[in-house]
A and B are shown apart, each in its own frame.
Chain A
Amino acid sequence: MSDDHDIAEAFEELPLEKLPLDAWHRARGARMVPFAGYEMPIQYAGEHGGIVAEHNWTRTNAGLFDVSHMGQLLLSGPDLDSAVEAVLPIDLSTLRLGQQRYSLLLDEEGGVLDDLMVSRWPDALFLVVNGATKWDDIGKLREALPDDITLHHMDEHALLALQGPKAADALARHATGEYPLSALTFMKLGRFQIAGHDVTIARAGYTGEDGFEISLPAEAAAEVAELLCGEPEVQPIGLGARDSLRLEAGLPLYGHDLSPDTSPIEAGLIFGINKRRRTEGGFPGADRIIREINEGTARKWVGLKIDGRMPAREGAEVFAGADSIGTVTSGGFSPTLGAPIAMAYVATAHSAPGTALEIEVRGKRLAATVSPMPFVPHRYYRGN
């Protein structure tokens, strides 16, 4: 027996670092695997442990994820907005204090180098970038931004995500600030205190559920994690369920669904190219992006629901009859639907929802249907 598609394989050659919560995870029986250059928990032991149990717990209660491998960057300096707009296809004139927005780091050809979150802090922009790409991102940003823009890598900070329909109830018992936690709606953030520690809480996440991402000093991470997991609604959740949850939520994973070989327009991420920038341009890859917005793309990123129980994994070929028309970029088993689901780039002619296709897995053809994403409806909190 051997794992042949382990998500960690790309990183196993590098020396591994430990995250601030390493000992805390191990004490909770986590199985640690190499990911993005760190040892990270893929799943936990115990009654509520295991990928499916952790997945279902997050969909019904609240799950605590350690995502401290992600890069937290703080940008500040003169003419910050115009400097950042030269690098990202974002419209910062509409990003107000306390708002968060999805954006993309593109190369000169419009390929995706990373996807990220940008938030407005007082006199600064706060970026959260992917763990596996953060060092390249820092290099790219440092190279592209003027010298008088300060880029601070907040590597003394941890990042925890609390996700699920009961996340707000559990977190509200501990987060205090100038205004109640309930004042935050989806994609808003603010300063709070938890157990006396200054934290920044954003109402966002990567599961499709209501939830929060908490940026906090590394030395406070274990205390806060322990406090939150002391709430009856909260269990720790590993990377395995994080992947199955984001798959159901139709959210792309960088390095799999997005790469320098894909454009954000192919991936349906036009919302990451803010409206003003679609006509003005002035960001890396703008020529291609604007052309694709106007003329369309030859392929599109779609969801696929698969008949039967056999999952299709990344790399599987997609067919329309005898013709190879695409490739799976992510795939697995959806615990919520009880069926396999996948994401794939397919020829635009075969990308309409309801289109019947086939996926080849180990010489067999699996019947699949193009499905709108998310596969499981989002339940973000947008206010009453």
Chain B
Amino acid sequence: MSSHREAPEIAKDPVADNTDTYAFVSPDRPGTVTLITNYIPLEGPAGGPNFYEFGDDVLYEIHVDNDGDAEPDITYRFRFTTAVRNPNTFLYNTGPITALDSPNWNRRQLYSVSKVAHGRETVLAEGLTCPPCNIGPRSTPNYTGLATAAVHRLPSGETVFAGQRDEGFYVDLGSIFDLGDLRPFQNLHLIPTPAAPGVDATKGLNVHTIAIQVPRTALTRDGSDPTSVTDPRSVIGVWGSASRRKVRIRQDEDDVRSGPWVQVSRLGNPLFNEVVVPMGKKDLWNSLQPKDDARFAELVRHPELAKLLPVLYPGVFPHLAALTAARADLVAILLTGLPAGVVNGFQNFTGPTLADMLRLNMAVPPAPKPNIFGILGGDLAGFPNGRRVQDDVVAIELRAIAGVTFPLIDHTFTPDAAASAVTDGLTPASNPVAFLPTFPYLGVPNDGFTHPAS
């Protein structure tokens, strides 16, 4: 998955598990950039009576590097507080929740947003309301209205939302984790079965989203409005994280938490820790900062998956099998950004520092008709130029690793014919819940009554 349960330790701590990170120029407000980090993987909508919620003891952060050193120049921090109206009932709600201040809603969450810049933290807002989880037609009869009311415009210019959303990341987990099977091509697998359509394993599931929409001028290093694609000031690096206090002591009533915040999850590019980093280093990777990622560069230059594909699909990837050179193309995509001259009219290069960040060139305008294959599909506004909610990052990264992008740095290399066709067989249409045309863009979460089992 993108980064759902991708490392042994964080798989046991879903509230802090950063599952997806997105960064894109807002299609309906192109003067802004939308930054999204998701947490809590694979939420079953019927998961009550204690429905999913953010951790009051977790520090959620979205980081932005705007000068290429892979260190955060701007960090947005989100801290949550749970309020229980009546502790003497087991119910999440005692009647229909028709408004965010409904007395029927027994367990709600509030949050604060602060911004850290130049070493100073400024509180932007406090006491913001999350929407409830989407329970069912009796409990949350007008969920869209509740969620809309939970979109907050801040006096400082940002717009924020924190709460449950439909899981927009589409992937055929059931096949991919069955020895790298891709159903549309499984007739060619080492252990073949008839080809079949992909199955969206996240369809019908939810996630918890933190989204913030920020004026572009608030993200550049000098406050300028990015208009030139070639201008280094137009490029930002983005990643999300979750941290817990170093010490927790369990005791009868309130637990004790103390010590510095310790990062337990982070996410820039999708699938980096999932697919590139080996099992023995995944927990370490989650604890480190992007500026430390040079130690993982060799794993990008010679990715394990590129060696597996020719084995799993015998005879399908002969050119990839013969490719022994370091994958400078993948290093550029994942660790430095693409320098100017590699893709016509585009760059998102942040300099020589090797760091896993989503790199967004904010001067590239939103595409009127987005191509889910992003830059591979000729759409410069899509992944790996940042990441939009609809981008097919599974297919893009599979194709890149299969060799499609290697000619960018070696024109003599001819990718295997299959490399540009690799897919798990899914599109956004595989999920009946549509993305929204406006903030927060991820779709209305599935309710537990309609989706008792996924």
A pairs with B: no
| Residues of A in contact with B (beta carbons under 8 Å apart) | none
- What residues of chain B have their CB less than 8 Å away from a CB belonging to chain A? none
